[in-house]
Structure 1
Amino acid sequence: MFYERWHIRDPVREMELVDVLLRNRGTDREEFRQWWRGRSYSPFKMKDMDKAVSKILDAVRRGRRMAIFGDYDADGITGTALLLEFLREVGADVCYILPHRVLDGYGIRPSGVEQARRMGAELIITVDNGISSSEAALRARSLGVDLIITDHHLQEGPLPPAEAVVDPNRNDDEYPFKGLSGVGVAYKLILALSEALGRSTEPPLDLVALGTVADMVPLTDENWWMVRRGLKAIANSRRPGLRKLLEVSGNLNKAITVTTVGFHLGPRLNAAGRIYAPDVALKLLISKDLDEATRLARKLNRLNEARQRMVERGLAEAEEAIEKEGMLRERVLVLMREDWHVGVVGLIAQKLVQRYHRPALVLTRAPEGVLTGSARSIHGFPITHVLAGLSRHLLTFGGHELAAGFSLHEEALEPLREGLISAAREMLTEDDLKPTLEVDCLLEPEEVNLDTIKILKALRPFGHGYPPPVFAMLGCRVVDARRIGNGRHLSLHLEKEGHLMEAVGWGFGELGWTPGRGDLVDVAFGLEEHNWRGREVVRLVLEDMRGSKF
């Protein structure tokens, strides 16, 4: 087994399958119909949207130079590209700034305002940052520069004194959907500007889908239909940069899915901001020259390969330290190494959580000498709340329930570690540390058919906060089982109640157990269409397998 526990959310199904799946994802048929129809809330329902639109259009009319201040991740890069293209299209004098992760840090700061002013900007528009940037707002005011903040992160303190703060997650905002990404908020700003200009055409959704999926915001409500349409826009995109990105990632002329974006395109865009400079990714997205796009896409591919090597090496070093120092005695992992790149510590932390199923905080030394780190957590240990309780040890911190960034002086590391260990002992039980597989419901063998596949297709795309369905079937008899792919994977035929089913377990060679013919097993799985010798069959894609008691 990969998981110690299976939590079957609906063991005795009394509703139709589609209703079970929607209910388990916090919605129902009527709400889902609204998603399907593309329910879009007016952008002017966001606080300060009217002020932002007025300021920007005034700057366009008067020829005032604007600077877009974005972020170094895929969300901030796509949002910056989207807004940059629109403003140029309507005749604005606009430039952009993307901060360097190591040299500049996250979010607009006074130095970023000063840089924009040196570039001639009289108006700065942030994308995917700024909700906590009061110092930058004060510096902008002192320089006579107008500042408009667009962000989607939670408001942790007082609002910055900007001309407008557009963020559905500011404390006093009543916008109906709180899950927009940074590029999603930028898209809403563009819709508001278009409405004010009397333009009927909507901006493309290819970049919106890229940033939304890459930022792992919930794929529900507005995000669901924007990503659904955006995936089609990516597949049909005429952007040279996107076409070349698809090509170098091996996805050209293939079906574009959330997996394509989340595991192939997004990481390549993010690689630039993690270990190099995010401008490479932005230039790729807005490029209109095929030769330039080819060169930039190949560079991103090389950067992504380098990033993967950094993570693999860092993960191996972290696992060695965990084993050597007996860190699994505690319910939280805290690791620091000076030669880990600041751009990959979050990825190392995420992989440690996946492997050890406990919160992980991974730190390295920043150029200015302080320690900087990334935290990833599990349910039951809201990491930003925990860090808030230990803020006396920190210089900065911020994030969400399951992910955060922070910095501190070196002498504060041990007090922070002790505080985290104490909090984990108090808040987490041993059961919380057991990997648990969430299963939607039991599926009958006769339901493994194309009709069920049609239901799943209608509910796509699945993603973060709206996960792909996982089913379980108990007491299946193994007809045959063999290892494939040099022993890494498992191919099976299962039988229950006279129904023969094909199954595959990717990576199941690691289980060290291959069931024998006639064994009874319980399986947890997803479903997929599989072309076998010219005919479409439905195949079980295993999530877990265990010996059956039935």
Structure 2
Amino acid sequence: MQPLPYIFSPHADSPQVRHFGALVAKEFRIPRQLGEIMYHRGLRTLEAVQAFLYPQLSMLPSPDSMKGIGEAVDSIVHACTTASPIFIHGDYDVDGITATALLTVFFNEIGIDTHYYIPNRLEERYGLSVRSIDRLLAQSREAGRGGLLITVDCGISAVREVAYARERGLVVIITDHHEPQATLPCADALLNPKQHDCRFPFSQLSGVGVAFFLIVALRKAFMERGLFAARSLNLKKYLDLVALGTVADVVPLVGVNRILVRAGLEVLSAKNRPGLLSLCECCGIGHREILAEDISFKLAPRINAAGRLGVPRLGVELLLAKDHAGARRAADELERLNTARKQLEGSALAAIEQQCAHQVEAGVDGLAVYHADCHPGVLGILASKIVERFHRPAIIFTDDQQHRAGTNLKGSGRSVAGVHLFHLLEQCNGLIDQFGGHAMAVGLTIDKTLLPSFADLFNRQVTTRHAEVLRQGRGIVIDCHLTDKSILTMEFAWALRLLQPFGEGNPEPTFLLSREQLVQPKGVNGHLRFQLRGANGHVFPGIGFRLAPAGRNFHGSQDLVFHLKRSWFRGTEQTQIQALHLVPH
């Protein structure tokens, strides 16, 4: 198979870039190459580099500039002072679950009881619905006298549902981060930094991020009114929840999100919340620092499993657990559900991959496939795997079990960097029943008979708008070509940590060593194990997952494309080479 081309940053070796790298090296005492990487990621001044390397909570913007914050705070304070019932309506993914837990814990700690509800994705539609409003209100004996409804991570498109809630006597506050549509709900307050006339300086918050800025404003308001319990609250302790939801929702880890997640990972690593400690223990990471990738690949999939398989409250119960015994029961159940999720995913993946492979061979850029036997709870994760394999936006459909006539399909889509999936669906709106989401992820329903027309239009939109983006992405992106191994030291590895957390918008840097000789390479169950000699005689252990097919010879000269990663073995931390591609010479 022809190796993929290398894709280097524009002007990678230009004098301007090297000069900036040298300035960064002198100012911050880190390797020049890291300064060059930051330059290519848009950090073009020393002040920008300072803010990126050393983000502080004091750099967070005031919530006062978020449209609707004043109305939201006034409504909530009034509800609290009049002892009106407070209802929190969340969503069934990690972002919605953490946002629900965040508000519930905050109100509880200032002495205010609340009721919360998470929809069941197997029985109910996404977000706010008439049924979910009725079920939420049924939790309170006082619901007949109205109350206050706060949505988190949903509600921006719930025009009819908000009208119904207000008819039921509720004051409604929407907090959401999904893309607003042309018609907004008539809520008493609407918080969403993506509103076109919102002056908040950062629009890429997660749902739990929006909820966090709400409690920042609430704490200030309660303190001004002399509520002692609010005065004693240190909001930093909630940032473990914010980091968890923000990383899981694949929003860009830059700007405000970077500040929140960097601080939140510190809180999460302390494991002061019994539920998160128990979940980390289930994942085998209870003894060490938590990284953003641990959220993506260990913690979030387990919490998401509850929502995917129709037990959404379990995730909130884990995060609200007050003792280790209850937390451990919830964590064990999440582990069981995650195992079941993997089985459901595996049963459908091969057939979906085959359909997508045929579409790719036919030149399709926007993938849309239907699988009748796919469990609806795993559509999103299957779409993610298809995107990872084929580097194209993908939407996976199955039959909508909530539609009694059996003529509707439910779909979940994921995208690649540079392709705004929500905007693509806006161009296909005439063929869609309902949809919502953001740049990287969407959910939708369509009439089954319209699937061929939708798939054709979706593909044409992707090709017309994003062909160049997709073409550039079908190669091996190199952040730094190491012309020799003199830079490959433990000091370099330590300095690289300053660029964490890695994730969407700030990917882990990819390095290239040309014509390298691996030390003691050997295949183990299809994976490659090896060593690499760095500078000063230091030997780095190496791993290449699924890079050692039977019969492959690794003893010759190789181009090595890799990440330099932190890993733990039997409780001991080490720096490891993770091979991504090997190109023989």
Tell me if TM exceeds 0.5: yes
Q: In structure 2, what is the equivalent of residue 390 of structure 1?
A: 428
Match of residue 491, structure 1, among 530, 547, 554: 530
Residues 156-195 of structure 1: pairs in structure 2 closer than 5 A: 156-195=181-220
Contact 2:543 2:579 in 1 (8 A): yes
- Is residue 423 from structure 1 mapped to residue 457 from structure 2 by the alignment? no
Q: Which gives a bigger RCO, structure 1 or 2 (Cα 8 Å, sep 6+)?
A: 1
SS at match of 1:17: helix
Letter of the 1:452 partner, please give it: F
Cα shift at 1:479: 5.4
Letter of the 1:491 partner, please give it: F
SS at match of 1:344: helix
Instruction: State the Cα deviation string for residues 232-252 of structure 1 (Å, max 9, x = none).
Output: 212212322111111111111
- Is residue 520 from structure 1 mapped to residue 557 from structure 2 by the alignment? yes
Residues 107-256 of structure 1: pairs in structure 2 closer than 5 A: 107-118=127-138, 119=140, 120=143, 122-198=147-223, 199=231, 201-203=233-235, 204=237, 205-256=239-290
Cα shift at 1:6: 1.7
Letter of the 1:190 partner, please give it: I
Contact 2:318 2:330 in 1 (8 A): yes
Which stretch has the larger CA shift, 272-281 or 538-547? 538-547
Letter of the 1:373 partner, please give it: G
Letter of the 1:485 partner, please give it: V
SS at match of 1:343: helix
Match of residue 22, structure 1, among 24, 33, 38: 38
- TM normalised by structure 1 equals 0.91
Instruction: State the Cα deviation string for residues 289-337 of structure 1 (Å, max 9, x = none).
Output: 32221111111000011111111111012134456x6663131332212
Contact 1:505 1:543 in 2 (8 A): no
Cα shift at 1:383: 2.9
Q: In structure 2, what is the equivalent of residue 472 of structure 1?
A: 512
Residues 249-264 of structure 1: pairs in structure 2 closer than 5 A: 249-264=283-298
Cα shift at 1:356: 2.2
Contact 1:489 1:508 in 2 (8 A): yes
Contact 1:446 1:499 in 2 (8 A): no
Q: In structure 1, what is the equivalent of residue 373 of structure 2?
A: 339
Distance 1:158 1:231, change over 3 A: same
Letter of the 2:33 partner, please give it: L
Which whole-Å CA distance do the structure 2 matches of 1:146 and 1:454 have between them?
51
Distance 1:339 1:76, change over 3 A: same
Letter of the 1:67 partner, please give it: F
Q: In structure 2, what is the equivalent of residue 85 of structure 1?
A: 105
Q: In structure 2, what is the equivalent of residue 437 of structure 1?
A: 476
Which whole-Å CA distance do the structure 1 matches of 2:289 and 2:5 have between them?
34
Instruction: State the Cα deviation string for residues 253-277 of structure 1 (Å, max 9, x = none).
Output: 1221112111111111111011122
Contact 1:339 1:364 in 2 (8 A): yes
Letter of the 2:446 partner, please give it: L
Distance 1:67 1:353, change over 3 A: same
Which stretch has the larger CA shift, 242-251 or 520-529? 520-529
Cα shift at 1:445: 1.1
Long gaps (5+) in structure 1 = none
Long gaps (5+) in structure 2 = 22-31, 224-230
Which stretch has the larger CA shift, 256-265 or 532-541? 532-541
Letter of the 1:267 partner, please give it: P
Match of residue 437, structure 2, among 377, 381, 399: 399
Letter of the 2:319 partner, please give it: L
Contact 2:489 2:534 in 1 (8 A): no
- Is residue 58 from structure 1 mapped to residue 78 from structure 2 by the alignment? yes
Which whole-Å CA distance do the structure 1 matches of 2:570 and 2:305 have between them?
39
Aligned length: 544
SS at match of 1:352: helix
Contact 1:526 1:542 in 2 (8 A): yes
Which whole-Å CA distance do the structure 2 matches of 1:337 and 1:254 have between them?
40
Q: In structure 2, what is the equivalent of residue 44 of structure 1?
A: 64
Q: In structure 2, what is the equivalent of residue 376 of structure 1?
A: 414
Letter of the 1:445 partner, please give it: K
Distance 1:265 1:397, change over 3 A: same
Distance 1:511 1:434, change over 3 A: farther
SS at match of 2:377: coil
Distance 1:503 1:238, change over 3 A: closer
Which whole-Å CA distance do the structure 1 matches of 2:39 and 2:232 have between them?
36
Which whole-Å CA distance do the structure 2 matches of 1:163 and 1:170 have between them?
15
Match of residue 329, structure 1, among 362, 380, 399: 362
Q: In structure 1, what is the equivalent of residue 498 of structure 2?
A: 458
Which whole-Å CA distance do the structure 1 matches of 2:109 and 2:576 have between them?
48
Q: Identity over the aligned pairs, expressed in percent?
A: 33
Distance 1:360 1:487, change over 3 A: closer
Q: In structure 2, what is the equivalent of residue 67 of structure 1?
A: 87
Residues 272-311 of structure 1: pairs in structure 2 closer than 5 A: 272-311=306-345
